[in-house]
């Protein structure tokens, strides 16, 4: 070990094109802005409930640009499908999640991503607005703080043209 290196028992993170929480999942803002800017080859939507809903998956398949592969699956399937046996390199995969709880579950399942983007998390009862389009419940704040504590860089950025804001500055 070199003098300036720090020993760590943390797993080495995987660099994905983008890992994003947005309660709307795949929608116009993602397709028009993020996909055009980052040019992923695959979009992966990790959502246990959605993966069990064939009709909703069909709607997402219709919304996904034809030149992109779409994978929809559960947290339990994600480590194998996105890292271990992925036909598309992680750097060419954009992961979309609906909630901070799913982001933590994905990390805990072995998909150790290095950065997490917060898009839109709507307002509601028991939620505190922390930024224009981001409102969080206490449980969501705890999940995001956990991810930050294990080294995930958590930021808020609605569009690629916007400046990323560290979650730590708004909590």
Tell me the per-residue pLDDT of 130-145, one tens digit each, with 9 for 90 and over: 999 999 999 999 999 9
Task: Kindly tell me if the per-residue pLDDT of 155 is higher than 90.
Answer: yes
- Structural domains for the chain: 18-169 (3.40.35.10)
- In the prediction, which pLDDT does 32 show? 86
- 100-108 and 138-149 are packed helices; what angle lies between their axes, rounded to 10 degrees? 40
Over pLDDT 70: what percentage of the chain? 94
Residue 28, burial from CB neighbour count under 10 angstroms (0-12, 13-18, 19+):
exposed
Using CA atoms, how far apart are residues 86 and 43, in angstroms rounded to an integer? 12
């Amino acid at each position: 070990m070199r003098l300036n290196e720090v020993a760590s028992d943390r797993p080495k993170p995987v660099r994905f094109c983008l890992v994003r929480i947005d309660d709307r999942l795949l929608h116009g803002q993602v397709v028009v802005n993020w996909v055009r800017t980052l040019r992923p080859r695959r979009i992966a939507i990790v959502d246990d409930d959605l993966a069990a809903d064939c009709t909703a998956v069909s709607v997402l398949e219709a919304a996904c640009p034809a030149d992109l592969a779409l994978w929809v699956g559960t947290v339990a399937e994600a480590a194998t499908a996105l890292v271990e046996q992925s036909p598309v390199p992680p750097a060419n995969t954009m992961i979309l999640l609906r909630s901070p709880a799913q982001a933590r579950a994905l990390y805990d399942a072995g998909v150790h991503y290095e950065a997490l983007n917060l898009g839109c998390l709507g307002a509601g009862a028991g939620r505190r607005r922390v930024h224009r389009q981001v409102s969080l419940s206490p449980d969501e704040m705890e999940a995001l703080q956990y991810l930050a504590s294990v080294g995930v860089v958590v930021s808020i950025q609605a569009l690629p043209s916007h400046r990323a804001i560290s979650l730590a500055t708004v909590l």
